[in-house]
Structure 1
């Protein structure tokens, strides 16, 4: 079973992916690890597209079952048929953005406000995250995700709203067992 869990930044893909991987005893792979060079501060240097694709393919290749968390929309059409299930998480923007701000402060502390360069990068990130729902940028937006999901060759489970990780896991397990999805 090959599962992709995706959504906007702070929709809960990583948290759900890790929890589901633990429940199903599958390895978990986070697309951010492959997309970004390992830098300090993190998430500042994008990895070469071909390099990240090769790295992810090599990581998942030995496994029959796995979960990938994150968006693969710009990683090539081969990913459209690579999964048995794609889970799309959607949170209302106000909830997601508050979680994102809380997470960034938890990760980095006051430096995102007090250091001029980091504050500028933080604000740019927040602006990018807001634009996800308004489609005001090129790249990863809600519409880009919806368009990509419409091309997927496997079932897509959409989980909308502020549900708990356990509720989300139960919806996925129900989907995997052939049950009906109430959402």
Structure 2
């Protein structure tokens, strides 16, 4: 089973991915671990795309089943998914969660350090442009176009559902896909 979970920042991708990973006993991989090099401050140095793609392919080759969280819409990976799960939350909920997450993760430095505050505000501005398609790269429109062109089954989960509600819908969809495959 190869599941890809995608959505805007703070739509619940990582939370659902980690929950499913634990529930289904399969590894969870986050695209940020491949896209960004380790740095201080974090998320400031992009990894070379060829190196990034090689790293992720190596990880996938070691596992029969896995869950990948985060967008790979322009990564040119040679990979198949059994299911793509698209998460969408209203922007006001998402941005409030994003601000709370950043404060919890990094502390007051995102407000007190000039450079970190600039990085924080740029990130919030970028994430705020997801739904109106003004963000660079990952936008709702880009995701919708990518999903529409996908040859893989897609499950769209919209709204502020709990992790258990989302996981139940994913499990139900996986079961339906397995049933369909057994009939072929």
Tell me, yes or no, whether TM beats 0.5. yes
After superposing on structure 2, the runs of 4+ consecutive aligned residues of structure 1 that deviate more than 2 Å are none
Decide whether the 8 Å contact of 2:49 with 2:75 is kept in 1. yes
Q: How many Å apart are 1:130 and its aligned residue?
A: 0.5
Runs (5+) with no aligned partner, structure 2: 178-184
TM-score (norm 2): 0.93
Paired position in structure 2 for 1:71: 71
Partner of 1:119: 117
TM-align CA RMSD: 1.1
Please give the alpha-carbon distance, in whole angstroms, between the structure 1 residues aligned to 2:25 and 2:77.
Answer: 28
> Does residue 43 of the first structure (1) align with residue 43 of the second (2)?
yes
C-alpha spacing 1:27/1:77, structure 2 compared with 1 (3 Å): closer
1:138 shift after superposition: 3.1
State how 1:166-177 maps to structure 2 within 5 Å: 166-177=164-175
Query: Post-superposition shift, 1:44?
Result: 1.1
Separation in 1, partners of 2:169, 2:139: 24
The counterpart of 2:85, out of the listed 72, 84, 87, is 87
Q: Distance in 2 between matches of 1:46 and 1:74?
A: 14
Cα distance in structure 1, aligned partners of 2:62 and 2:90: 37
Q: When the two structures are aligned, how many residues end up with a matched partner?
A: 177
CA deviation profile, 1:142-164 (whole Å, cap 9, x unmatched): 10011111111111000000011
| Match in the other structure for 1:34 | 34
Deviates more, 1:131-140 or 1:152-161: 131-140
Output the CA distance in 2 between the equivalents of 1:21 and 1:69. Answer: 11
Q: Any conservation in 1 of the 2:53–2:77 contact (CA below 8 Å)?
A: no
1:55 aligns with 2:49: no
CA distance in 1, matches of 2:163, 2:108: 29
Give the secondary structure class of the aligned counterpart of 1:167. Answer: helix
Q: In structure 2, how many angstroms separate the alpha carbons of the residues matched to 1:152 and 1:131?
A: 24
